[in-house]
Amino acid sequence: MKTTQNNSIHDVIIAGAGPVGLFLACELALAKCSVLILEKAEDPHSPLKQVPFGIRGLNALSVEALYRRDLLQELELHKRLKNPHLNAKQGTRRQGGHFAGIVFHDDDIDTSQWRYRLPSSTETSLISEMQELETVLTRRAEALGVEIKRGLAITGFHQTGDGVTVQSGNRSFQSKWLVGCDGSRSVVRKAGGFEFAGTEPEFTGYSTLVDIADPEKLSPGRNVTPTGMYLQSQPGYVIIQDFDGGAFHHSKKPITLEHVQEVLRRISNTDVTITALHIATTWTDRARQTTSYRNGRVLLAGDAAHIHAPLGGQGLNLGLGDAMNLGWKLAATIQEKAPENLLDSYYTERYPLGAQVLDWSRAQVAIMKPGPTARALNAIIRDLIDTRDGATYFAGRVWGVNTHYNLDGNHPLIGRSVPNFELEDGTRIGELMHDGQGILLDFDKNASLKTLANEYGDQIKYISGSAKDQLGLSAVLIRPDGFVAWAVDSGPNLDDAAQAASCWFGDPIAIV
């Protein structure tokens, strides 16, 4: 077979134009890297990405990330679904989320425990739709100069010390780096020899759109039954969990009306009748994570690096977090501005968070399983989630507000997402992050901090002046991904600030 070679060498080729690949492309292009995305599917539209199948819950960190890049306002769906007339019955308590189907309520949550969440913070969670999110990200990526080639599946690659040759059938493309954002069945992961360690599934999950002759036989909402779980969130949209060890999903048998009806009848213990099956897809709670996120010039992000049950909706959030964390680090590495080990910190920061999410999903499965042990544990969680501290704990985990990286430094804010400080002129700090630069925020107008920031040119922006609520802080160094690299309450020590700057941004580029 004759190979057609494309002569231009991109900084980065990304496999997959899913939400993670697209967001990563935006981050890299914002930092002025040239990016090519190769996407297997010809058509970016799919009913599985649209309401109701494509509904995704974004957590506080994803909402913040999109806000910080001025993308949040472009997502329209949540504005409709947030409308109380559309999604809340009068007098009902607002549900904050769930753990294994056990709901926690907004009015139980003690937000005063979240010291660094200011009233000006963005929302803790948001409903979004895959299709809309991908459309918004595609538009932004293309506006930033990203090239997206659809209908080209990556089939393999070869890397040397200088770059990567990426194969798509008989065509080949060159880049300095390759990032696999090609989802749970990632070819990049398999061809790159990454170890994918974890646990096998307990159940097959079904998402179906059906016509039901006698829907009143099914109970509304989420129902954990002695044999599994079923949920009818809107007429005809039925999700089922059948604890078959993942056998049906792995059998690759066609999903027929008769099969779905049999499973639904068994799980719901009714004789409900399905008259039409419009769409059906299956998934499992298989939980695996690659033991490294990088092999030479090849990296992984999103579902390519970690998979788990979609219970409680964490996968997309984890993947968007990977992209936000990796983008600026890879860009700085390509542009030879990165301090030593910066790129390695992608793995050391993101792997533990991925592992936590896998365990969170395993813990949910463990208490949903049919049997007396799970039922007993389930009852205890029910009691705990109804307490103020319990609801606050579960909300903190599900919404990601307690997330932090284990970074060097003594201040408790270091490694956390920066609070959305509101400056005297009404500007919020998140609005100053659209360009993806680092920020040295100096509440006390300290001349030496200004000099330090200036030494880093456009890598670090210096912002001074007081904020409405400074949380007792004097100065904060913020990384391009919005996480705090250094913070001090009073009397900044210039040596500490300079050390933090060089740790994350490398050597100063100019003495001003």
Q: Which residues bind ligand FAD (CB under 6 A)?
A: 15-21, 38-41, 56-57, 153-154, 181-183, 187, 207, 283, 302-303, 310, 313-317, 319
Half-sphere exposure of 241 (CA within 13 A, CB side): 25
121/207 with CB nearer ligand FAD = 207
Assigned token pair, 198: 């974890």
325/437 with CB nearer ligand FAD = 325
17/501 with CB nearer ligand FAD = 17
22/429 with CB nearer ligand FAD = 22
- In Å, how far are 114, 264, 400 from 396, measured between CA atoms? 8, 33, 6
Query: What does the alpha-carbon distance between residue 454 and residue 449 come to, in Å, rounded to a whole number?
Result: 9
Residue 207 CB, shortest distance to ligand FAD, in Å, is: 5
Contacts of 380 (CB under 8 A, 6+ apart): none
Residue 216 CB, shortest distance to ligand FAD, in Å, is: 25
Helix (H) or strand (E) holding 333: helix 315-334
Query: What does the alpha-carbon distance between residue 291 and residue 488 come to, in Å, rounded to a whole number?
Result: 35
Which residue minimizes CB distance to ligand FAD?
A: 18
Task: Concatenate the DSSP letters of all residues of 402-468 into one string.
Answer: T-B---SSSSTTTTBBPP--BBTTS-BGGGGGTT--EEEEETT--HHHHHHHHTTGGGEEEEES-BS
Residue 401 CB, shortest distance to ligand FAD, in Å, is: 15
109/181 with CB nearer ligand FAD = 181
Residue 185 CB, shortest distance to ligand FAD, in Å, is: 6
Query: What does the alpha-carbon distance between residue 423 and residue 416 come to, in Å, rounded to a whole number?
Result: 20
Contacts of 199 (CB under 8 A, 6+ apart): 286, 287, 288, 362
Contacts of 349 (CB under 8 A, 6+ apart): 325, 405, 406
314/392 with CB nearer ligand FAD = 314
313/457 with CB nearer ligand FAD = 313
CB–CB of 75/54 below 8 Å?
A: no
53/421 with CB nearer ligand FAD = 53
Residue 21 CB, shortest distance to ligand FAD, in Å, is: 5
Sign, Cα dihedral of 264, 268, 270, 273: negative
Residue 459 CB, shortest distance to ligand FAD, in Å, is: 28
56/286 with CB nearer ligand FAD = 56
40/222 with CB nearer ligand FAD = 40
Lookup result for tokens 């007792």: 472
Residue 288 CB, shortest distance to ligand FAD, in Å, is: 13
Residue 339 DSSP label: P
Residue type, 20: V
Contacts of 233 (CB under 8 A, 6+ apart): 52, 221, 239
Residue 171 CB, shortest distance to ligand FAD, in Å, is: 12
Residue 410 CB, shortest distance to ligand FAD, in Å, is: 33
**Exposed / middle / buried, residue 22 (Cβ in 10 Å: 0-12, 13-18, 19+):** buried
Residue 36 CB, shortest distance to ligand FAD, in Å, is: 11
Q: Which of 149, 128, 127, 153 is nearest to 138 (CA)?
A: 149
